[in-house]
Each structure stands twice: as structure tokens, then as C-alpha cells.
Amino acid sequence: MTRYTSHPFPFTLIIIFIFFTVITSAAVINSPCKIEGHVEFFPDFNKDYLSGVITFSENKGGDKVIVDGIFTTDIGVDGIKDEDGNPRYRAELYNKEGALLYDLTDSVFNNAIELVSFNKQYANLQICGSNSIIDKVVVIKKDGDEIARAEIYELLDYH
């Protein structure tokens, strides 16, 4: 008569698989946001020939977004500021329904006017959370009139 013995190998394999699945899923949940928001404005699509880029990336804590913008006009960077050095334009964040969510003017145009700035501009926004700014709309205004608008799209952040 043949005697059948149970082998611990399949049971051990199942336990190891469950262990690594739990560890991997916990690591994914706690990882920082790997998405960066990006908006581009092209001079061909607005009457002021304003061109620029705005990037949004979450800080390591995930509670704030670092906002960086660089803009120029057909007459150079001087076209985005008035005689007093203040921005001529306003940058505002809107949802799809057209409700104003956030005024980005200081965050966007501060670094653009200074050209070289090592000061990070923070905004109380989210990229990866439930209130993500991805697919929201940034509107650039001058004297209350809309000059340009563009939707925030996502890029993978490799930092």
C-alpha cells in the first residue's frame, strides 16, 4: 500500500505569495505621488502672444503642491509685468463647471518675473488625492478679460 504524505512546499508557497502581496500593496499605498501636472500656453492661440508653461508637483508630505511658471510675450519677459514690476496677468484655476477654485497669480508669475528664483511657490492643492487638479482648467486673464485657457494634464514625475 502506498503511503501519501503531505508536502509542506505548496502550503509554504501560498503563504509566501500572500505575504509578498500584502507587503507590496502596503508599499504602493504609502508611496508619494508620481504624477506631475502640466499646462502649456501657446502664443498662436491668444491675442497677447503669451506663451508659457506651468508645472505642478506635490511635496513629499502630499499636503501642498509646488507651482512653477515661466512666461513670456512677443516683447519678452517685460511684457508680463507692468512699470511697478507687478504681473499684468492673472492665473486662475477653474473646475469643469466654471467655478473658481484657486487664484494662482502669485505662484505662477512670481518666478516668471524674477526669471531665476530658487524660492518654491506652494499652493494648497492636490494632484493625486480625491480633489486632484488634473483635468481642471487654468485661465489667464488681463484686465478681467480672458486671454488664454488650457487644461491641466498629467505627466509622470521621475524625481
Q: What is the pLDDT of residues 70-112, one digit of tens each?
A: 888 888 777 888 888 888 899 999 998 999 999 998 888 876 6
Cα distance between residue 41 and residue 50, in whole Å: 7
Residue 27 belongs to some domain of the structure: no
Output the pTM of the full model.
0.71
CATH of the domain at 108: 2.60.40.200
What radius of gyration do the chain's Cα atoms show?
Answer: 24
Average pLDDT over residues 9-29: 54
Residue 6 belongs to some domain of the structure: no
- Report how many domains make up the chain: 1
Please give the backbone phi and psi of residue 118, each rounded to the nearest 5 degrees, phi first.
Answer: -100, 5
Under a CB-based contact definition with an 8 Å cutoff, are residues 139 and 148 in contact?
Answer: yes
Largest CA distance in the chain: 101
Domain that holds residue 69: 35-156
What cell was used for 155? 505627466
pLDDT at 126 over 80: yes
